[in-house]
Amino acid sequence: MVEPDPFGSMDWAESLVPKRPKLLVVDDQTVNIQALYQIFGADHEVFMATSGSQAIKVCLDKKPDLILLDVIMPEMDGIAVCEELQKNSDTRSIPVIFVTSQESPEEESRGLEVGAVDFISKPVNPAVVRARVRTHLTLKAQADALRVMASRDGLTGIPNRRYFDERLAAEWRSAKRGSQPLSLILIDVDHFKAYNDHYGHVEGDTCLRRVAKALKLSVGRGRDIVARYGGEEFVCLLPETDLAGAEEMAEKLRSAVADLEISHKSSPVGNTVTISLGVATIVPTSLTGPETLLVRTDELLYKAKESGRNQVVAQAI
């Protein structure tokens, strides 16, 4: 199947918009919320908030696809809400359309500076607000799809090195804040050059795809990821996982690849494709950085390979 061109027609992005997009309507006047609900309630999932603090909580809980936000509200106005949303990576990409009774150029300029994508005047015109919302939902779907493509390894379809680096940095910060363990597994396909030399690069690519799929299917928790690290190396990131849990996962990954029984007649280890794994666990502090975990895990992978391959070598830092 040929994938549609993401840089072509907007029809592709429109097809990615959820059938019932999630909208958050924020206004301290319930009559205004009701008016927008009448416009969107039939074909959108509409959430409501009557204050800025409530809006932020709903955003974190419900992850809306778009926000219709009143500018003038008591305590926390729309500008402040938008600024808070921009500070959080989980909410930064949600498009915000300001709904306002004021139309000064200064207000529009300030709104765009803090991250809003559009302005709609009160009282709202149903046809106009529908068109604006549809346009920005389409643009968001396109941006989301391109982000996914940029984070995906072209050969195996699993996350790539770039995505892994971003997640490692984020999980490191989270683990440091909560004084939680963070575990890493580096994985190397044993004697893969010999596999390519014997079977050819086309079969080598097929082998890597099968290994990647087996690794991915072995990881079950939402925050755990398997990514392609480079060449025949893969990596598994395990937040809030101690050494025992990480070592257990590594054995599971090793067994999953062995169970594929991919023929490897040129391997000194055996007749099938195997993997070697280095496992390290650390509780991050201000005195260490992610590179500490990466370097030590790589050293442990080297030990696994030097000790005969097809095995796990693990250590807490």
Active site residues: 232
CA distance 108 to 113: 9
d(CA 57, CA 316): 37
- Using CB atoms within 10 A of its CB, is residue 259 exposed (0-12), middle (13-18) or buried (19+)? exposed
Yes or no: say if 245 and 279 are a contact pair by the CB < 8 Å rule. no
Token representation of residue 1: 């199947």
Q: Helix or strand or coil: residue 78?
A: helix
Structure tokens that stand for 137 in this block: 């939902």
- Beta-bridge mates of residue 45: 22
Q: What kind and span of H or E run contains 315? A: strand 312-316
**List of residues 6+ apart from 300 with CB closer than 8 A:** 186, 278, 279, 280, 313, 314, 315
What is the rounded radius of gyration, in angstroms, for the C-alpha atoms of the chain?
25
d(CA 152, CA 161): 9
List the strands of the sheet with 182-189, edge to edge: 225-230, 233-239, 182-189, 275-282, 312-316
CA distance linking residue 65 with residue 277, whole number of Å: 40
Name the token pair of 308: 């005969």
